[in-house]
């Protein structure tokens, strides 16, 4: 550590080093500890076909991003979707490997990510030896492998997405209250249905024993609040989260739509009483092509004015927010200049590509300084942490180095401590401090 000022010529090297050496607390993933089961036993215990921890080369290759991409290479009139989904995981991976990696150059970010991951694990992508990769993964013990991946990716903690309306996940929590106890992971309560489909959610809550009905009576709303409290207690979630469609609107205190009533009367009061932030991920238009499965969702432009109204009307709530459309990014970043209870985060999903990560991070740093969270991995397969953070760290470091070079040109010369402080804010403490309130 050093308070000595640094020469402009040292900036790029020191910034890159600081960003690479700073462990990141990944604030949004779809990853789980082995307690949630895994379909690939490897050298560990029994395989659980419904297990939630996905890892290994076949899961990397059948990531829903690559399923969508392989259907551009070999369209449904050549390979009917039903035939693909009848294939085994390995057969699907073979198809994707052949069509996207051998018959075509793996130019996309999702394809490149598989190669970065293999290479950082010590396997040789230029071997193009899928069978050999498979043998290597089969020798890994899943729980030890979690430690290894976190070490390579320099991830200090993995934040989960614990979707209470997902039957598989919900049953695992009911069966074992300690299922989420692994200290390497942080739980998050995810409850999209409550805001996207109040009627359907009310029916389920009623089946689960809560006095909740489609009519949003005081009793019904209190029942829903109790449901949230129970599941925040059960999961110890560090924030509440939803993904919302492009059509999401919050029109203020007079907005009587069921989603807005649920937000105003159920979600925000419970999270405020618990002192927990609320994460809104806005812009996902679900299942425009259901035949692609998880890959069937698309993006739509969303309404930043609704986010401004929420931040203004609920000063005791803290809001994480990311939007899926590139077109929303500038307006959302300016919104964060207006409200300190709004924390912009991540280059989500279709924005998680080098050209857009660079664009968003540069714009955010120019408008917000170091007071935002530049990235989350959104990893669905454990090994993806390696490439998602490797690629993002390079891009975040480049932007930060350029900004320090601009400052040096204005006569402000940073110390190494300053640079390490920047890296820690961006990759860890902005998230940790916003959680703490
Ligand atoms: O809703 C979400 O959390 C999204 O991230 C979806 O899971 C999406 O399918 C995804 O994996 N994006 O990266
Ligand atoms: Zn996600």
Q: Which ligand is nearest to the CA of 350?
A: 1
Q: Are residues 281 and 317 in the same domain?
A: yes
114 assigned to some structural domain: yes
267 assigned to some structural domain: yes
Q: Which is nearest to 22 in space by CA: 40, 1, 51?
A: 1
Average pLDDT value for residue range 324-330:
99
Ligand 1 atom nearest to CA at 192: 1
264 assigned to some structural domain: yes
Q: Are residues 120 and 207 in the same domain?
A: no
Per residue in 223-261, pLDDT tens? 999 999 999 999 999 999 999 999 999 999 999 999 999
360 assigned to some structural domain: no
- Indicate whether residue 378 lines ligand 1 (CB < 6 A): yes
Per residue in 155-206, pLDDT tens? 999 999 999 999 999 999 999 999 999 999 999 999 999 999 999 999 999 9
Show the domain range for 237.
Answer: 154-344
- Indicate whether residue 350 lines ligand 1 (CB < 6 A): no
Q: What's the half-sphere exposure (Cβ side, CA atoms, 13 Å) at 403?
A: 23
Q: Are residues 278 and 173 in the same domain?
A: yes
Q: Which is nearest to 281 in space by CA: 391, 153, 392, 191?
A: 191
Mean pLDDT over each residue of the chain, to the nearest integer: 98
> What token pair was written down for 48?
């659980």
pLDDT given for residue 3 in this prediction: 80
pLDDT given for residue 5 in this prediction: 84
pLDDT given for residue 1 in this prediction: 62
Is residue 355 scored above 70 in pLDDT? yes
Q: Are residues 131 and 159 in the same domain?
A: no
Distance 279 CA to ligand 1 centre (A): 13
- Indicate whether residue 109 lines ligand 1 (CB < 6 A): no
Q: Are residues 332 and 236 in the same domain?
A: yes
Distance 407 CA to ligand 1 centre (A): 37
In angstroms and rounded to an integer, the radius of gyration of the C-alpha atoms of the chain is: 22
Distance 31 CA to ligand 1 centre (A): 12
pLDDT given for residue 413 in this prediction: 87
Query: Do 190 and 242 form a contact (C-beta atoms < 8 A)?
Result: yes
pLDDT given for residue 2 in this prediction: 77
Q: Are residues 194 and 244 in the same domain?
A: yes
331 assigned to some structural domain: yes
Ligand 1 atom nearest to CA at 380: 11
Q: Which ligand is nearest to the CA of 192?
A: 1
Q: Which ligand is nearest to the CA of 352?
A: 1
Is residue 322 scored above 90 in pLDDT? yes
Of the candidates 138, 173, 197, which is a domain's last residue? Answer: 138
- Indicate whether residue 214 lines ligand 1 (CB < 6 A): no
Q: Are residues 109 and 160 in the same domain?
A: no
* Mutation test residue for ligand 1: of 27, 28, 30, the one with most atoms within 8 Å of CB: 30
**Measured distance CA(230)–CA(226) in Å, rounded:** 6
Whichever domain contains 248, its CATH number is 3.20.20.140
Closest residue by Cα to atom 10, ligand 1, is 349
- For 20, phi then psi, to 5°, come to -70, -35
Is residue 4 scored above 90 in pLDDT? no
**Measured distance CA(432)–CA(437) in Å, rounded:** 9
12 assigned to some structural domain: no
Distance 257 CA to ligand 2 centre (A): 26
The total number of structural domains in the chain stands at: 2
Per residue in 380-411, pLDDT tens? 999 999 999 999 999 999 999 999 999 999 99
- Indicate whether residue 166 lines ligand 1 (CB < 6 A): no
Of the candidates 311, 328, 344, which is a domain's last residue? Answer: 344
Model confidence, pTM: 0.98
For 285, counting Cβ atoms within 10 Å of its Cβ (0-12 exposed, 13-18 middle, 19+ buried), the class is middle
Distance 106 CA to ligand 1 centre (A): 22
Q: Which residues of 98-135 are buried (b: 16+ CB within 10 A; e: fewer)?
A: ebbbeeeebeebbbbbbbbbbebbebebeeeebeebee
Q: Are residues 296 and 263 in the same domain?
A: yes
Whichever domain contains 83, its CATH number is 1.10.2020.10
């Amino acid at each position: 550590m050093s308070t000595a000022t640094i020469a402009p010529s040292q900036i790029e090297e020191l910034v890159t080093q600081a960003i690479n050496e700073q462990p990141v607390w990944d604030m949004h993933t779809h990853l789980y500890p082995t307690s949630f089961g895994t379909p690939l036993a490897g050298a560990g215990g029994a395989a659980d076909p419904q297990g939630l921890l996905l890892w290994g080369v076949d899961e990397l290759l059948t990531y829903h991003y690559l399923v969508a991409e392989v259907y551009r290479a070999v369209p449904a009139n050549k390979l009917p979707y039903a035939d693909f989904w009848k294939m085994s995981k390995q057969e699907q991976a073979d198809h994707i490997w052949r069509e996207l990696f051998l018959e075509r150059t793996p130019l996309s970010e999702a394809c490149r990510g598989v190669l970065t991951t293999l290479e950082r694990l010590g396997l040789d992508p230029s071997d193009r030896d899928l069978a050999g990769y498979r043998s290597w993964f089969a020798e890994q013990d899943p729980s030890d492998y979690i430690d290894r991946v976190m070490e390579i990716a320099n991830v200090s903690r993995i934040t989960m997405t614990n979707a209470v309306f997902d039957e598989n996940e919900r049953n695992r929590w009911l069966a074992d209250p300690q299922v989420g106890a692994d200290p390497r992971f942080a739980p998050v309560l995810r409850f999209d249905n409550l805001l996207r489909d109040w009627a359907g959610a009310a029916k389920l809550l009623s089946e689960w024993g809560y006095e909740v009905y489609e009519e949003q009576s005081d009793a019904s709303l209190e029942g829903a609040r109790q449901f949230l409290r129970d599941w925040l207690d059960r999961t110890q979630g560090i924030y509440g989260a939803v993904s919302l469609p492009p059509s999401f609107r919050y029109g203020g205190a007079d907005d009587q739509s069921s989603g807005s009533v649920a937000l105003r009367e159920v979600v925000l009061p419970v999270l405020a009483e618990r002192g927990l932030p609320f994460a809104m991920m806005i812009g996902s238009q679900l299942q425009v092509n259901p035949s692609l499965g998880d890959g069937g969702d698309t993006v739509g432009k969303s309404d930043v004015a609704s986010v401004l109204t929420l931040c203004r009307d609920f000063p005791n709530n803290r809001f994480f927010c990311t939007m899926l459309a590139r077109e929303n990014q500038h307006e959302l970043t300016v919104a964060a200049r207006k409200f300190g209870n709004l924390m912009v985060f991540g280059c989500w999903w279709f924005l998680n590509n080098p050209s857009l990560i660079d664009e968003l991070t540069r714009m955010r740093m120019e408008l917000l300084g170091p007071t935002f969270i530049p990235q989350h991995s959104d990893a669905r397969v454990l090994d993806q942490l390696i490439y998602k953070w490797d690629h993002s760290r390079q891009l975040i470091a480049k932007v930060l180095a350029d900004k320090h070079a601009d400052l040096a040109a204005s006569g402000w010369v940073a110390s190494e401590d300053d640079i390490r402080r920047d890296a820690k804010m961006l990759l860890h403490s902005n998230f940790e401090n916003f959680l703490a309130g």
